[in-house]
Amino acid sequence: MNDVPEALELLSTRVDELEKRVHALEHTAEGSAPAIQASSAVAQPLDSADTQGEQDGGMFPLLGTAMLGIAGAYALRAIAESSSLPKVAIAGVAIVYAAAWLLWAAKATGASFRVRVVYAGTSALILAPMLWELCLHFKVLSPTATAFVLVVYGITATIFTRKDDSSPVAWIAHGTAVLTAFALSIATHVMMPFVGALLLLVLLGEYANLKARKVPIRPVAFLITDVAICALIFVYSGPQNARPDYPALGVVALLAPGILLFLINGASVVIKTVFMQKTITIFEAVQTMIAFVLAASSLILFVPQSGVRIFAVVCLALSAASYVISFAYFRPSAEQRNFIVFGSWSVLLLLAGLVWSLPLSWSPAALGMIALSAIVLGVRTKCMMLELHGLVFLVVAAMISRSPEYAYRELAGSSPVKPDLSIFLVSAFALLCYAAGKERAGEAWKQQVLHVIPALLAAFALAALLVHGLLALAARVIPLDVFHLAFARTLTICVVAMAFAFGGARWNRLEMKRIAYGALALMAAKIALEDLRHGRMEFIAGSIFLFAVTLMAVPRLARIAPKIRSVMGADITLPKKV
């Protein structure tokens, strides 16, 4: 018991010493904190530099690993050449070996981007040359089996990278499969299996794109597929004796690639724009048109008897569907690209269907009626696109009827021709289309184009018909010479210029005034180039006199105030009495 006080005193002494030490350590830590931070700041860039050096040095072992994989592929090829083992079994092992590298790249989710690129590239460098050898050199795999392996390779990469959009494995595998399929389709001359593989890979890429996954190789896959189908059409559309190494194909097999590609593109675009309410890209719009051209070419070339009629019916049906989609889904939307693209497709398809289905003599009248209907409907619904469509139909009708050529020969050519009935019809429709359009002050240049082109078509056609009428009447009285033709043309242009100037002022039509002033410039050039060269003095004097009168009359006629109210059936506001 006597030792207890001594023990308590010793314990108290030890506790005091520990408190002093802790106090001293705390003050030392506070004083040395800036020094510690400074030392860590110095050490940090050194650590970063060490890490960067380790990464740069780690690239060489990574490449060494890839080279080991390629060496294994060469070892399998050597075994296939020298051993008596079945080559089919060795081919299976080689395919599994390439797929193992692909799966290794897909499963390396924690690895860096370049590690996955190297592993996936190693798989591609193993698979592509190996399939080339197995299909062309060893004849172990048939073209159909090779195409099947390429499709499975692309599907495998897509499945194992479906949750990782940033992974490069999928697009490296797809690019390898697409390029290998295209190369083998050219080298083997057996095109159908590889074209089918390309279509399946494109379909797989479109499915991934609709799922909002990144597919960087998608444009390249479509481009290569387009070229492959174009090569197929080119080879099999020629004479049979020009392709002795190519297998015979039926009509269905020849039609299928182009039609399937168009269906894939069309369905993808409709799903994306109509159901998913997304904006179509420029690439998708162009690719859809390319696919349609390939499908149409296949139909016309490989079904010559009824292909044209089928093509015309399909164009009309697609045009109707495109018009419905444009105005039902896209016109109310704030984003107008879908409306513009589908509207452009509608008018082009309708034109193609009408031109390929109607007799050539009926086309100008039919297109003129459609042009007038579209412009009237566009004005009433305030839809500038419909007015533009009407203008397109009118221009095509004028080109089919050769109205511009007729106007040129009557107004500037050396040998006028007799007008056809279609020229009268197109001229009347051009005048009606111009009258149906509503000109407004302060219009943009796009809207002005919608008015000036029908006005020009009508003006040139009317001037040409007037020249023809004048010459026909003069031919009954006197024998015609070159100077008579020149004077008649000058007189006609004068009449047209003054008529358009008066009409522009009377009905407040700005484009008519512009055409009147344009006619003055045309008349000046005509007198210098034709009347002075081919005319006689009295007729030259008459042409110059007409030109002078027109120069004075057109500005005066253009300044005439338009009537506000029509006398027929309208109320006239009288001035109030003072």
Instruction: Dump pLDDT digits (tens) for 136-148.
Output: 988 889 999 999 9
Cα gap 575→567, rounded to integer Å: 16
Task: Indicate whether 21 belongs to any domain.
Answer: no
Domain boundary among 436, 464, 492: 464
Torsion of CA 219, 224, 230, 233, to 10 degrees: -130
Comparing 221 with 1, the larger pLDDT belongs to 221
Judge contact between 208 and 215, C-beta under 8 A.
Answer: yes
Whether residues 282 and 325 fall in one domain: no
Please give the structure tokens belonging to residue 110: 């924690």
pLDDT at 85 over 80: no
The whole-number pLDDT of residue 137 equals 85
Task: Indicate whether 217 belongs to any domain.
Answer: yes
SS (H, E, C) 50-80: HHHHHHHHHHHHHHHHHHHHHHHHHHHHHHH
Task: Indicate whether 44 belongs to any domain.
Answer: no
Query: Helix, strand or coil for residue 240?
Result: helix
- Under the banding of pLDDT at 50, 70 and 90, the label for residue 564 is very low
State pLDDT tens for residues 357-389. 999 889 999 999 999 999 999 989 889 899 999
pLDDT at 565 over 50: no
Whether residues 254 and 283 fall in one domain: yes
Domain boundary among 464, 496, 517: 464
Helix (H) or strand (E) holding 342: helix 337-357
Judge contact between 461 and 425, C-beta under 8 A.
Answer: no
9: CB partners within 8 A, 6+ apart: none
Angle (CA) 198 279 294, round 5°: 35
Please give the structure tokens belonging to residue 341: 């693209």
pLDDT at 547 over 80: yes
State pLDDT tens for residues 470-512. 888 888 888 878 888 888 889 999 999 999 999 888 888 888 8
Task: Indicate whether 41 belongs to any domain.
Answer: no
Query: Helix, strand or coil for residue 110?
Result: coil
The whole-number pLDDT of residue 289 equals 97
Whether residues 145 and 243 fall in one domain: yes
Query: Helix, strand or coil for residue 347?
Result: helix
The whole-number pLDDT of residue 471 equals 84
Assign residue 569 a region (left: φ > 0; alpha: ψ between -120 and 50; beta: otherwise): left
Q: Which string of DSSP letters, residue by residue, matches 399-433?
A: HHHTHHHHHHHHHT-SS--PPPHHHHHHHHHHHHH
- Under the banding of pLDDT at 50, 70 and 90, the label for residue 32 is very low
Whether residues 240 and 329 fall in one domain: no
Query: Helix, strand or coil for residue 337?
Result: helix
Highest-pLDDT range among 119-123, 216-220, 282-286, 465-469: 282-286
The whole-number pLDDT of residue 84 equals 67
Task: Indicate whether 446 belongs to any domain.
Answer: yes
Nearest of 127, 132, 135 to residue 96 by alpha carbon:
127
Q: What letter represents residue 376's amino acid?
A: V
The whole-number pLDDT of residue 54 equals 36
pLDDT at 34 over 60: no
Whether residues 458 and 524 fall in one domain: no
Whether residues 99 and 76 fall in one domain: yes
Domain boundary among 319, 351, 383: 351
The whole-number pLDDT of residue 571 equals 41
- Whole domain around residue 291: which residue ranges? 60-304
Judge contact between 462 and 427, C-beta under 8 A.
Answer: yes
The whole-number pLDDT of residue 66 equals 77
Cα gap 408→457, rounded to integer Å: 12
Whether residues 261 and 139 fall in one domain: yes
The whole-number pLDDT of residue 94 equals 85
The whole-number pLDDT of residue 36 equals 37
Domains held by the chain: number: 4
Nearest of 437, 404, 408 to residue 423 by alpha carbon:
404
- Under the banding of pLDDT at 50, 70 and 90, the label for residue 52 is very low
Please give the structure tokens belonging to residue 333: 């939307």
Query: Helix, strand or coil for residue 461?
Result: helix
Whether residues 86 and 208 fall in one domain: yes
The whole-number pLDDT of residue 8 equals 45
Task: Give the mean pLDDT of 530-537.
Answer: 82
The whole-number pLDDT of residue 91 equals 83
- Under the banding of pLDDT at 50, 70 and 90, the label for residue 284 is very high
Q: Is 108 exposed, middle or buried (0-12, 13-18, 19+ CB in 10 A)?
A: middle
Cα gap 418→468, rounded to integer Å: 8
266: CB partners within 8 A, 6+ apart: 288, 291
State pLDDT tens for residues 407-422. 888 888 766 677 888 8
Please count the residues of the chain.
578
- Under the banding of pLDDT at 50, 70 and 90, the label for residue 227 is very high
Task: Indicate whether 155 belongs to any domain.
Answer: yes
State pLDDT tens for residues 162-219. 877 667 888 899 999 999 999 999 999 999 999 999 999 999 999 988 888 877 888 9
Q: What percent of the chain has pLDDT over 70?
A: 84
Task: Give the mean pLDDT of 58-67.
Answer: 77
Judge contact between 569 and 561, C-beta under 8 A.
Answer: no
Comparing 326 with 449, the larger pLDDT belongs to 326
Q: Phi first, then psi: what are they for 104, rounded to 5°?
A: -60, -40
Whether residues 324 and 282 fall in one domain: no
Whether residues 445 and 321 fall in one domain: no
Whether residues 430 and 487 fall in one domain: no
Task: Indicate whether 501 belongs to any domain.
Answer: yes
Cα gap 456→459, rounded to integer Å: 5
Whether residues 283 and 397 fall in one domain: no
pLDDT at 250 over 70: yes
Listed as own residue / partner, the contacts of 374-378 with beta carbons closer than 8 Å and 24 or more positions apart are 375/433, 375/436, 375/437, 376/436
Q: 351-380 in b/e burial notation, b at 16+ Cβ within 10 A?
A: bbbbbbbbeeeebbbbbbebbbbbbbebbe
The whole-number pLDDT of residue 44 equals 40
Task: Indicate whether 277 belongs to any domain.
Answer: yes
Please give the structure tokens belonging to residue 90: 């060795």
Q: Which of 146-160, 444-458, 490-504 has the lowest mean pLDDT?
A: 444-458
